[in-house]
Amino acid sequence: MEEKRIYIEDDMHHRFELVDKWPQNYLIWNIGYDAIPGYVPFCQLASHQPFVNENTLKAYKTDAYKEIMIATFGSCSLTLEDMKKYLQRCQKNKKLTSWDRKYVPKVEEVVKIVERILEEEESK
């Protein structure tokens, strides 16, 4: 099987393997929602500079890439589990900040989207 790769526009240094399943044990790499339009970028952390393992980058194609990237940025959540923890923290707070009031609905929607993606993959 031929391995498919994609690069960040104007940056031939960061090469992403195209995957057809949501990567497990990876973080959403918050590099901007238009870095690779149409894809959610994923990375694994490294213990040294630049703190991202550039040899294991992955990209997952989805129409909801922009919503996912915006919610990731707004909640500082790089995984589905982090997003759920963010929502739990916000539910416990009596008074949300204006930032959280803006991003809680976005994160709630993205949690549903990612869970739907995972359910569809599991049923295949």
Q: Residue 99 and residue 47: Cα distance in Å, rounded? A: 31
Lowest average pLDDT, out of 37-51, 74-88, 101-115, goes to: 37-51
Q: How far is CA 109 from the centre of its chain?
A: 13
User: To the nearest whole number, what is the mean pLDDT of the chain?
Assistant: 90
**What pLDDT is recorded for position 32?**
82
Average pLDDT over residues 17-32: 93
- What percent of the chain lies above the pLDDT cut of 90? 69
Greater model confidence, 28 or 2: 28
Give residue 81's identity as a one-letter amino acid code. Answer: E
First-to-last alpha carbon distance for the chain, in angstroms, is: 20
Q: Characterize the bridge pairing of strands 58-61 and 39-43.
A: antiparallel
**What pLDDT is recorded for position 35?**
86
Average pLDDT over residues 35-61: 90
Q: How far is CA 77 from the centre of its chain?
A: 8
**What pLDDT is recorded for position 121?**
93
Please tell me what DSSP assigns to residue 33: T
Q: How many CB atoms lie within 10 A of CB 40?
A: 25
Average pLDDT over residues 68-92: 95
